[in-house]
Structure 1
Amino acid sequence: MPTLVLNPTKIRELFADLVIREANSRLYNEIEQWADKVDISAESKHSLPPGYHLLRVDGRLGKLRPDGFEIVLVNELTKTVVYYNKVLFSGQLDMNCRPATQVLVWRTTDSRHAAVLYGLAQDVFFNYILDRYDIILSDNYQTSEGQYFWMRQMSNALTLNYHVYYYRLMESKLDPIPDQDSLDGLTDQIWSEDDGQTYHLAVISKIKLPAELKVEVQE
């Protein structure tokens, strides 16, 4: 599983372009002017009130991430980004699909946006990303809120009869998590402040994965 980030200074560094108001405004303006974007609110099946736009932004991550994209929720009244999700793809062997990885998922703490943000991350997760890319891997770094989000989605995935796994990258070991009791039993193993946990991943898949699966995780 990913490294669990609890230090407020580290969190601020990771999310600086979103947390700092001036930087958030610059990001909002850049996205507004970016040509290659499309509204995905209908695909996410998340109802949005006037003034909000859920966008998929392609091409802004540059040459190092040519097939990655961003999902952002912007508010045209406050002119801010209120939700951000960077989606990258991890190469894997012997399979004809690409697993997606959510990286540095963030949402604002501004209470004015609380109602519209409720359930958004889950809808994006299942209705947009997983619907298109079959597999989602956990991201490299998460805050404590991100930790609980992933635990909820793993539990939801089990309820929906998806396949849930615990993957140890250095050992190429893919352990299935068949039920909630098994998931509960792993809670104290799969999150840690230890940097080594970067190489432990959660996997949610619509298809059954082979035990010998090897995943190349983007840095």
Structure 2
Amino acid sequence: MPRLIVKDSEVVKIFAHLMVREENARLYDSLVVAEAVSDISADAQCILAPGYRLLRINHRVRPSSDRFEIALVNDLLKSVVYYNQVVISNIVDLNCRPATQNLVWRSADSRHSAVLRDVAQKVFFNYILNRYDVILSDNQQTGEGKFFWQRQMSNALALGLHVYYYQMLTASLIDVPDQDALDSLSDQLWSESDDQQYHLALISKIALPAGVSLSPVEE
């Protein structure tokens, strides 16, 4: 099972190439000309300013169906503003659609601040969660990754969704019923200890059985 990275130094290294103009432009070029690309702004309920498109790209990273990409691109600047690589995982003995993990990055350029304000959350809840029922915390996050997940878990509770804390070493799934419970788990979920790789957060549209186990995901 891939680990949850919360160390800032590792996060910066993972996404450094997207912060370089030439490499960002190269990714833009490869995404917009991909064979299996579709505009999902309506599905995600995102109203975008002129020049922006929210795209889903299938089979570019791998020919198999175990991952796809979502990107907010700016066609005027020919740049990638928001990038999300969604990995399909398996939940054993669970009657639902596959769980997913997110590898998420978004631009720090102030020119995109307005359009980015709600995109990540709408993609998370309106698009991914609507289609796959369960989202696992991402193993490679944005520079504000842990804060993004804290917000989404809090938002999920407010929306009446199910939030869980999963410890892989003991295969224990702990229900997080409210904000107080989420606050009390903060140290376990977002620490930088060596065993942090075995802790995951889950948001689900359905109640999960206590005995659920997560299968490994190949990187």
- TM class, shorter-chain normalised? over 0.9
SS of corresponding position for 2:189? coil
Shift of 1:78: 0.7
Residue 65 of structure 2 corresponds to: 66
Residue 7 of structure 2 corresponds to: 5
Residue 80 of structure 1 corresponds to: 79
SS of corresponding position for 1:151? helix
| Structure 1 segments of 4+ aligned residues over 6 angstroms from their partners | none
1:49-198 aligned within 5 A: 49-63=49-63, 66-96=65-95, 97-103=97-103, 105-143=104-142, 145-198=144-197
Distance 1:11 1:151 in 2: 17
Deviation string 1:133-170 (CA, Å, 9 cap, x unpaired) is: 00000011335511111111111111111110000112
Shift of 1:80: 0.3
Deviation string 1:158-186 (CA, Å, 9 cap, x unpaired) is: 11111100001121110000111100111
Alpha-carbon contact 1:12-1:19 (below 8 Å) kept: no
Distance 2:166 2:145 in 1: 18
Deviation string 1:162-215 (CA, Å, 9 cap, x unpaired) is: 110000112111000011110011111211223421221100000000000001
Residue 24 of structure 1 corresponds to: 24
**Structure 2 residue ranges without an equivalent (≥5):** none
Task: Supply the AA of the counterpart residue of 1:99.
Answer: A
Identify the range of structure 1 (83-92 vs 144-153) with the bigger mean alpha-carbon deviation. 144-153
Identity of aligned residues (%): 52
The alignment's TM-score, normalised by the length of structure 1, stands at 0.93
Task: Supply the AA of the counterpart residue of 1:114.
Answer: S
**Structure 1 residue ranges without an equivalent (≥5):** none
Identify the range of structure 1 (17-26 vs 46-55) with the bigger mean alpha-carbon deviation. 17-26
Give aligned pairs, total: 215
Shift of 1:87: 0.2
Task: Supply the AA of the counterpart residue of 1:39.
Answer: D
Let me know the Cα RMSD of the aligned residues.
Answer: 1.5
Shift of 1:11: 3.0
